[in-house]
Structure 1
Amino acid sequence: MSIDRLPGVVLTDHFLEVPLDHAVPDGERLTVYAREAVAPGREHDEKLPWLVYLQGGPGCASPRPLGRDSWLVRALDDYRVLLLDQRGTGRSAPAGRQTLALRGGPAEQAAYLAHFRADAIVRDAELFRRELLGPGERWSVLGQSFGGFCATTYLSYAPESLREVMITGGLPGLTASADDVYRAAYPRVARKNAAHYERYPQDVERVRRIAAHLREHTVRLPGGGRLTAEAFQALGLMLGTGTGSYVLHYLIEGAWVTGPAGPELADSFLQAAQGHLSYTATPLYAVLHEAIYGQRSVSPKGTEWAAERVRAEFPEFDVDAALDGDRPLYFTGEMVFPWLFDTDPSLRPLKETAQLLAERTDWPDLYDAGRLAANEVPAAAAVYADDMYVDAGHSLETARRIRGLRAWVTNEWEHDGLRVSEGAVLDRLIRMVRGEA
């Protein structure tokens, strides 16, 4: 067992063998990793309650602490924290083009990845709970974004294992299909675009100029990917964070340099754009992004590239229509499109696998409305009123359907409020589940 001491926190590694398919406990197994974080001097405090953290994503590893930082500033006052690397991420059987090639062809890879959704993540967490706390002990859950989806699944699957549940920016629509999700998302993204251009009106022409150049020229990113006009639009993903509009503006203002042949997109711009657009570090984010909404009782036809299909209903996101007229070109948000598997070299080998997952029609349901309606676990959720990634309307409808859940609706923070609030968001949720706020 590896132990690491950083300023203000003691970290301990934990590994656990779990079934690939929890319905077949004697079948193939995976190694899942989690990092325990505790305040110095409290390592041996057996009365210190556990809090398991479920990260956003899908396909993103749990945070790597640099000390007692971010929301751990508050969490370590009251908890021993378990930072779970969800299966397929970090040190938990990482899944990407290199490792998935060992599974066989696209059909085998898709069948494997079908076991990497919230239902399996929750069952992995349950095995960790039994291993670390004992079968009859309860722990608390903190879920951020997709981690909140997982926390809602946890309340559906194993509420008897939970002391309390806290969710930030991640109450899912219980019966929202992928089409419903994106039909609600595009107007939210449009509002974020309008706000950006109101703040930076000079960016209207700058963005149109870049998009027109990308329409007329083949532009390669430093890693070999192609920067198309649609890929450039995907930089709008950052508009959902508290400082994202500023970062996007600074990126755009430094886009051009003058070379021997005249104006061209700067290497520094292309390098920075690649950092925001590449899925090399998080391939499952792209491969499984729409699959997290699949439920056979809700969308029996599967997800079928919902973001791409629904986009046609919102012409303000059409590049050619914008360039043919004089209106601003809108960036897209948290949407994954099939062409990504052509433009991003790290995703290209997974194109057929992603297509098979988009066509899959037998996704198990993730939420139990009856159990949630009878919930007895203290629960609280921060619902960000201006959240670009998770629809506040869907979240509030779900809040009404989970018995006893208290919703805190705020526009003080964006979707990244948990990370950037230095513990303030978590403190409010802790006080809410305890009835102190």
Structure 2
Amino acid sequence: MNSTPATGTAEPVTYRHSGLVCADHTLDVPLDHADPYGPTLSLFAREVTAAGREHENLPRLLWLQGGPGGRAERPNAAGAWLRRALQDHRVVLMDQRGTGRSTPADRRTLAAFPDAAARAAYLKHFRADSLVRDAELLRAHLAGAGPQGAPPWTVLGQSFGGFCALTYLSLAPEGLDKVLITGGLPTLTGHADDVYRAAYARTLAHNERYFARYPADQQLADAVAAHLETHDVRMPSGERLSVRRFQTLGITFGTSARFDSLHYLLETAFVRGPAGPELSDAFLRGADAVLSFAERPLYALLHEPIYAQGGRPTAWSAHRIREEFPAFDAEGIAQGQAGPVRFTGEMIYPWQFEEDPALVPLRETADLLAHHTDWPPLYDLDRLAANEVPVTAAVYHDDMFVDREQALETASLVRGLRPWITNAYAHDGVRADPAVLDRLLAMTRGTV
């Protein structure tokens, strides 16, 4: 991969807390890595070391979080993986471009562009290929050397971070010592339609698991949907809660940490008002906290483009493919013409850009991205087939977000990749239990 210049903007700010030593780094990186002397973005990363080991020559581990559009974890709320990783590594938490303390991309900052076409052109540089090239410049920056002189590092990719790790193996394997992937082996050649067709089936299965655990919630969920259909219900933010938006609360089914959260939200749903049952402020506030994209607009804008390669647009894939799954239809539930309610999962719909204030100004931009055809490839199949970097991957058997069969097909296409298939964890297994990272590291050493 051709190197491009990066400029550190200041000396790192270092501080201590909770047994950790943190050093905050900021550097400028090209917006378009093919135009290294064009416009730049600010990239933020936090390097974390266990207290007492900050002066040791420990190898670095880069954490690539899920998303797209999610900032790196903050050390004061770290998942189980971080404390385990710090036993052997300096851990680098990079805020991917557009998120956290890196140059943000949201309705306010994107309003500076003259039109939707300019915004879409800008956001085309926010996919995995750009993130990998950012990471390579960060690797060199932290080492105080050029990319050729910086030691390779370990990458731990969770969910979308695993997608990025495979792009890393395709574009710059020389920067990698080993790769660990958790719940993040995407299809390398499939279209977004293939992804969402499989995702809807898995999401229905998770609905069945949920209602088997909480059978009384079916009547309650149906009642909430019927109430929303016949009333103009506003969340504390002032925006309307529609039936279809209520259904997207099923995204919580995908992780062990949040699987039960809908149950505890629904149990607060109704209070008795002057004219009869009303949805409570506690319920509406809780729903808004899950449903709003104010903190992660890039997730909505780029969720389908992360699967786009070649000349075929995604064209609102999740919206189109949903028509193949009438079990999710809830329109008319108040009149007994639909139901029972089934919740959707990790899907983005065009109507969300009409209902969520954080997304409304970006509706035309999202549509341009959905219909864009000139996407560059994200994966080099030949290079992956000749891979020499040790790669281990946790494949969660019942993962709601990443299809098991697609993941195993991808594993077979990467030379030397060792998959660990387990039904002991949900999508967030690496955050829930340090044993997940422990096992992947042991697999790279050949002791498991």
TM-score by length of 1: 0.97
Contact persistence 1:240–1:387 (CA under 8 A):
yes
Question: Is the counterpart of residue 414 in structure 1 residue 447 in structure 2?
Answer: no
Per the alignment, residue 269 of structure 1 pairs with 283
Question: Is the counterpart of residue 259 in structure 1 residue 273 in structure 2?
Answer: yes
> Paired residue for 2:356, among 321, 344, 361?
344
Structure 1 residue runs of 4 or more that deviate by more than 2 Å after TM superposition: 67-70, 133-136, 320-328
Structure-2 separation of matches of 1:68 and 1:276: 20
> Paired residue for 1:132, among 142, 167, 170?
142
Contact persistence 1:382–1:407 (CA under 8 A):
yes
Structure-1 separation of matches of 2:15 and 2:298: 29
Contact persistence 1:3–1:11 (CA under 8 A):
yes
DSSP-derived class of the 2:420 partner: strand
After superposition, where does 1:37-186 map in structure 2 within 5 Å? 37-46=48-57, 48-66=58-76, 70-133=80-143, 134=145, 135-136=148-149, 137-186=151-200
> Paired residue for 2:385, among 369, 373, 395?
373
Contact persistence 2:331–2:338 (CA under 8 A):
no
Structure-2 separation of matches of 1:410 and 1:123: 32
Structure-2 separation of matches of 1:315 and 1:26: 51
Structure-2 separation of matches of 1:426 and 1:395: 18
Structure-2 separation of matches of 1:176 and 1:436: 34
Structure-2 separation of matches of 1:307 and 1:167: 25
DSSP-derived class of the 1:52 partner: strand
Change (3 A) 1:305 1:69: closer
Structure-1 separation of matches of 2:41 and 2:259: 40
Structure-2 separation of matches of 1:254 and 1:225: 20
Q: Give CA-to-partner distance per residue, 1:60-104, whole Å, 9 cap, x none.
A: 000001177621110000001110100000011010001111122
Structure-2 separation of matches of 1:75 and 1:95: 30
Structure-1 separation of matches of 2:231 and 2:349: 21
After superposition, where does 1:306-345 map in structure 2 within 5 Å? 306-320=317-331, 324=336, 327-345=339-357
Post-superposition offset of 1:237? 0.2
Opposite residue 228 of structure 1, the aligned amino acid is S
Task: Give unmatched runs, 5+ long, in structure 1.
Answer: none
Post-superposition offset of 1:121? 0.1
Post-superposition offset of 1:180? 0.6
Task: Give unmatched runs, 5+ long, in structure 2.
Answer: 1-11
Structure-2 separation of matches of 1:301 and 1:148: 23
RMSD: 1.3
Contact persistence 2:329–2:338 (CA under 8 A):
no
Contact persistence 1:7–1:68 (CA under 8 A):
no
Post-superposition offset of 1:40? 1.1
Structure-2 separation of matches of 1:191 and 1:28: 46
DSSP-derived class of the 2:260 partner: helix
Post-superposition offset of 1:262? 1.1
Contact persistence 1:9–1:68 (CA under 8 A):
no
Opposite residue 394 of structure 1, the aligned amino acid is Q
Q: Give CA-to-partner distance per residue, 1:257-301, whole Å, 9 cap, x none.
A: 0011111000110000000100000010101110100101xxx23
Opposite residue 77 of structure 1, the aligned amino acid is Q
Q: How many residues align?
A: 432
Change (3 A) 1:390 1:184: same
After superposition, where does 1:229-308 map in structure 2 within 5 Å? 229-296=243-310, 300-308=311-319
DSSP-derived class of the 2:86 partner: helix
Q: Give CA-to-partner distance per residue, 1:191-230, whole Å, 9 cap, x none.
A: 0001111111111111111111111111111112221000
TM-score by length of 2: 0.94
Opposite residue 284 of structure 1, the aligned amino acid is L
> Paired residue for 2:41, among 7, 11, 30?
30
> Paired residue for 2:397, among 385, 400, 409?
385
> Paired residue for 2:205, among 176, 191, 197?
191
Structure-2 separation of matches of 1:276 and 1:113: 24
Structure-2 separation of matches of 1:25 and 1:252: 51
Identity of paired residues, percent? Answer: 57
Structure-1 separation of matches of 2:337 and 2:272: 27
Contact persistence 1:15–1:32 (CA under 8 A):
yes
Opposite residue 271 of structure 1, the aligned amino acid is R
Opposite residue 43 of structure 2, the aligned amino acid is V
Q: Give CA-to-partner distance per residue, 1:155-206, whole Å, 9 cap, x none.
A: 0111111100000000110011110100000000000001111111111111
Opposite residue 23 of structure 2, the aligned amino acid is T
> Paired residue for 1:18, among 5, 29, 37?
29
Per the alignment, residue 433 of structure 1 pairs with 444
Structure-2 separation of matches of 1:411 and 1:363: 35
